[in-house]
Amino acid sequence: MTDDPIPLSGLTHYAYCPRRFALVHIEGEWAENAYTTRGQQQHQRVHGGGTEERDGVKTLRSLPLVSREHGFAGVADVVEIQRDGQSDGRSGGAPRPVEYKSSKAPKTHKLGKFAEEVQLCAQALCLEEMWTTAIPAGFIYHAGSHRRREVPFTSELRAAVLAARDGVRDLLRDRVLPPPAADDRCRLCSLFDECEPFAPRAFPPGYDPFSTTLEDR
């Protein structure tokens, strides 16, 4: 049902590549590669659950998230809250989502990296609704380079989250496989073989791709 909450992981897949979302969430395709395996191992280390407090910061792990207003749900790797000495965690500052990635922090913007920011901002939209507060920014921790970068939740990024949500709903309704991206992000995708992004999909007039004679080719 298109009215069901959209998983945050689905938004991430769509923001990376709409065809990837359709292959995973509509056609049920999945395959692992080195990148997805490292990512799962990273999340297993983070998703132990529980809370801790250190240096005035309360850390919540594997926190369930939901936004009824925007229509998506999922789990945050980590949510940090600046404490003010009160016993109630909500009495401190605004919660900040922290997403863990196995990759290195990008030196410049790269294709596909925007999907990470969409995922993080979607978590913030859930937290804003759950905490009834504004969240200006969050963080992505890149384990590959041991760097943590701040991601401002700009109006453009927030609009991109909602555009991804609407795109997901359209795909779930129409159930039409989008064309492949056929660019650099395909080389990193675990569904490269299933997608066949660079396979010919149009032929010149009169060309018979099934011919076995040299004259026809």
Asked, for residue 183, whether it belongs to a domain, the answer is yes
Measured CA to CA, the distance from residue 131 to residue 33 in angstroms comes to 37
Asked, for residue 170, whether it belongs to a domain, the answer is yes
Q: Which of 52, 6, 22, 20 is nearest to 177 (CA)?
A: 22
Measured CA to CA, the distance from residue 70 to residue 8 in angstroms comes to 11
pLDDT of 99: 93
pLDDT of 206: 63
Cβ–Cβ under 8 Å, residues 28 and 177: no
Kindly provide the b/e burial profile for residues 65-74, where b requires at least 16 CB atoms within 10 angstroms of the residue's own CB: bebeebbbbb
Q: What's the predicted TM-score (pTM) here? A: 0.79
Asked, for residue 56, whether it belongs to a domain, the answer is yes
- How is residue 65 annotated by DSSP? E
Phi-psi sector, 73: left (phi>0), alpha (psi -120 to 50), beta: beta
Asked, for residue 100, whether it belongs to a domain, the answer is yes
Note down the domain range covering 104. Answer: 6-195
**Structure tokens given for 190:** 């675990």
The string of DSSP codes covering the chain is: -TTSPEEHHHHHHHHH-HHHHHHHHTS------HHHHHHHHHHHHHTT--EEEETTEEEEEEEEEEETTTTEEEEEEEEEEE--S-SSGGGSS--EEEEEESSPPPSS--TTHHHHHHHHHHHHHHHHHHHTS---EEEEEETTTTEEEEEE--HHHHHHHHHHHHHHHHHHHH--PPPP--SGGGGG-TTHHHH-TTS-----TT--TT---TTT-
Asked, for residue 70, whether it belongs to a domain, the answer is yes
Structural domains counted in the chain? 1
Which CATH number is 155's domain given? 3.90.320.10
- Taking only the tens of pLDDT, the chain with its 217 residues reads 457 899 999 999 999 999 999 999 888 886 655 444 454 544 455 555 678 888 889 999 999 999 999 999 999 999 999 865 443 444 457 899 999 987 777 665 555 568 999 999 999 999 999 999 999 999 999 888 888 999 999 999 999 999 999 999 999 999 988 998 888 888 888 888 888 888 876 666 666 655 555 554 4
What does DSSP say about strands 72-82 and 96-101: parallel, antiparallel, or unpaired? Answer: antiparallel
Asked, for residue 182, whether it belongs to a domain, the answer is yes
pLDDT of 67: 97
Asked, for residue 52, whether it belongs to a domain, the answer is yes
Cβ–Cβ under 8 Å, residues 57 and 80: yes
pLDDT of 62: 92
Asked, for residue 11, whether it belongs to a domain, the answer is yes
